[in-house]
Amino acid sequence: MLDDALNGGFENPPVQSSHAFRAALSALARPGRVERIMGAEAPGLSEAAATLLLTLCDAETPIYLAPGHDSEALGQWIAFHIGAPLVGPSHAMFALGAWDALMPLTGYPVGTPEYPDRATTLIVEVEALTPPTARLTGPGVETVARMRLPETDPFRANRALFPLGHDFFFTAGEQIAGLPRTTIVEDL
């Protein structure tokens, strides 16, 4: 086992995981709002992405690592700290990677009418969360919010699947922003 796999967990798990969970929920509840999330370090990931994995995943949470993020070091870190199985996209509850590497979105479960919560949540690693490129409206947005997105068409198609569809976290450094399936996305 690589030494990197043994390091990078929470120093104070109860406190750090509760703060991280609150930031993750806040990011999804208020689309486009940037939250700060930190506490975990994993090989090849932003601190925000590592902290999300450590907070939201456990040994019963299948994770897909997209090309570019599917390193042996990260796999061992996940095995040691989370115990989650690594799977292909069609069986993932969480998928992690760069936007292009996560494509196509049609390869991930969108849930079923009886169980819409069985959709894959995507954690998209990006360079930055600003400047904004899209206009957001819908639940959790008082009037209008703005957010940086890699493109807008896939999010409009995802919204059309509601109540099915994917929820997204975008991570950069210590920052996250959320985009739930309920959000209406338009070009700026």
Give the range of the structural domain holding residue 120, as residue numbers without chain letter. 3-187
The domain tally of the chain equals 1
pLDDT at residue 125 is higher than 90: yes
Instruction: List pLDDT tens digits, range 73-99.
Output: 999 999 999 999 999 999 999 999 999
Q: Distance between CA 120 and CA 143 in Å, rounded?
A: 28
| Residue-level pLDDT at 3 | 57
Question: Is residue 8 over pLDDT 60?
Answer: yes
CATH of the domain at 85: 3.40.50.11310
- Is the link from the previous residue into 163 a cis peptide, with omega within 30 of 0? yes
Q: Give pTM, 2 decimals.
A: 0.95
Asked if the peptide bond before residue 113 counts as cis, ω within 30 degrees of 0, the response is no
Name the packing angle between helices 13-29 and 47-56 (round to 10°). 100
CA distance 177 to 82: 23
Question: Widest CA span of the chain, in angstroms?
Answer: 50
